Amino acid sequence: MQGFDKNTPRESFGSQIGVIAAAAGSAVGLGNIWRFPYVAGENGGGAFLLTYLAFVLLIGVPAMLSEFVVGRKAQRNPVGAFRRLAPGSAWPAVGFIGVAAAFTILAFYTTVAGWTLEYLYLTIFDKLDHLQKKDLENTFTTFVASGWRPVMWQVVFMLLTGFIVFKGVKNGIERSTKIMMPLLLLIIIALGIRSLTLPGAAEGLKFLFRPDFSKINAGVMLQALGQAFFSLSIGMGTLITYGSYIRKSENLGKTAISVSLADTAIAILAGLAIFPAVFAFKITPEAGPSLVFITLPMIFDQMAGGVIFELVFFILLAIAALTSTISVLEVAVAYFGEELAMGRKKATILSTVAITVLGIFTTLSMGPMPELSIAGLSLFDLLDKTSANVLLPLGGLCIVLFVGWKLRPEEVVSEINNAGTLKARLAPLFMFIVKFLAPVAIALVFLNGLGLFGFFGGGDL
Ligand code: PFF
């Protein structure tokens, strides 16, 4: 099959490990280490975790597999994939929403990714040492609102992302994630052990694992679903794009399960690294988005050997973010490169520049340009909330509906069992889920969470 560049064949991942490293790299990101702990903290800890796990298993894994099926079958970017599999229909719109979501997600995601670089810098130059809580809060809020500095780090981060994507699927994405993912795993395990061995850590475990079902309402359920989609990178065509680079001999079902389990394990490990430490130092966990930038430095400061752990933690965050940003950028690059026939290099430059510009405005909305806000939400909050809680669930809903109802079941099953060469015993269960369970569950949680039905009191986004 012809690639983005006229005279080369379409690229693919070179090995099973490469596929898993790349897809888990996309899934494991700020969503696991920065977002999951604070969203869980704000929504009741253990009860949230259980709801989240149920969504990952029942909806997340099948939705991920659906994206792989669409991508690999079509061998195309998200827009081209729907065009090829459902010519002359409105389905390519789902792909377009995905490409648009790539822009909105990267715009705020690289803001936060940039913060991790600033905190790496602050740690290396000892600038977080012996600061009181008030000073740490000050450091964070002043920095975030300061304009040029967060913008500078954001641009650096986008350039790093662009550089890897520029080098292509095998030499850029696969090669870099194969190095970064094992490193990430090592770091998070080390941090988890450190946190769990602190005196008083047990309280944190209780908070994370003891469910209090009275905390669950429609709003919490939507947050859990949004977080599951965000964390697994589902709903905007990232996994359609990566799926299109998976060779016909790989087992898609196994890949979806491995990647989802790895992502969930890392979210729990992040919880284990953060909450025991938070409770050991008697801090309230509902700290919101600033949890890792204010609370953690405070803890590291009081911990024996804290600077080392702090350094390693921010390296972890930066790596996790980078393996995700490349997957999002690849959606835009695959679209421009393939559909508009510009080739990878031009498409990478164009998308990187365009997203950087949007990103800069997002960062500025948190400080120098407060007028960039709608309905009281800054551009940053707006993009964060609408991407996770609106765009991704809607995208995910369309994708499972497409696989459940638009493609013929034989075609879907043949893609899952590699034209009859694999057993794929769970294929009938998968078909049932994508036809009925997942669409109904996503639609209910979505509408409820938005408060349209008013059941259980509706819910805030
Ligand atoms: N899954 C990433 C994370 O958890 O940080 C974020 C993300 C990547 C969301 C790719 C959506 C996406 F398509």
Sign of CA dihedral 32, 102, 64, 25: negative
Interval between CA 198 and ligand 1 midpoint (Å): 31
Q: Which atom of ligand 1 is nearest to the CA of 101?
A: 13
- Classify residue 6: in a domain, yes or no: no
- 255 touches ligand 1 (CB under 6 Å): no
Our count of domains for the chain comes to: 1
In order along its 461 residues, the chain shows pLDDT tens digits of 667 776 778 899 999 999 999 999 999 999 999 889 888 887 888 889 999 999 999 999 999 999 999 999 999 999 999 999 999 999 999 999 999 999 999 999 999 999 999 999 999 998 888 888 889 889 999 999 998 999 999 999 999 999 999 999 999 999 999 999 999 999 989 888 988 988 888 998 988 888 888 888 888 888 898 899 999 999 999 999 999 999 999 999 999 999 999 999 999 999 998 888 888 887 776 566 777 888 788 888 887 888 998 999 999 999 999 999 999 999 999 999 999 999 999 999 999 999 999 999 999 988 877 777 777 777 888 888 788 778 888 999 999 999 999 999 999 999 999 999 999 999 999 999 999 999 999 998 778 767 655 444 444 44
Domain CATH number, residue 208: 1.20.1740
Q: How far apart are CA 94 and CA 67, in angstroms?
A: 12
Q: Where are the alpha helices (DSSP H) in 5-45?
A: 16-27, 30, 36-42
- Classify residue 226: in a domain, yes or no: yes
Q: Which residue in the block uniquely carries the two structure tokens 């994405």?
A: 173
- Classify residue 401: in a domain, yes or no: yes
Q: What is the largest CA-CA distance in the chain?
A: 63
- Classify residue 5: in a domain, yes or no: no
- Classify residue 111: in a domain, yes or no: yes
Boundaries of domain holding 28:
16-456
* CB burial string 295-330: b at 16+ within 10 A, e below: bbbbbbbebeebeebbebbbbbbbbbbbbbbbbbbb
Interval between CA 112 and ligand 1 midpoint (Å): 13
377 three-class SS: strand
- Classify residue 461: in a domain, yes or no: no
- 424 touches ligand 1 (CB under 6 Å): no
Q: Is 219 left (phi over 0), alpha (psi -120 to 50) or beta?
A: alpha
- Classify residue 98: in a domain, yes or no: yes
- 32 touches ligand 1 (CB under 6 Å): yes
161 three-class SS: helix
Q: Which residue in the block uniquely carries the two structure tokens 């998968």?
A: 430
pTM (whole model) above 0.85: yes
Q: Which atom of ligand 1 is nearest to the CA of 32?
A: 4
- Give the residue, by CA position, lying nearest to ligand 1 atom 8: 233
- Give the residue, by CA position, lying nearest to ligand 1 atom 11: 233
Q: In the numeric block, which tokens belong to residue 454?
A: 């008013």
By residue count, the chain amounts to 461
Nearest to 162 by CA among 25, 333, 20, 27: 333
- Classify residue 221: in a domain, yes or no: yes
Give yes or no for a contact between 137 and 112, defined as CB atoms under 8 angstroms apart.
no
**Best residue among 36, 231, 240, 323 to mutate for probing ligand 1, ranked by most atoms within 8 Å of CB:** 231
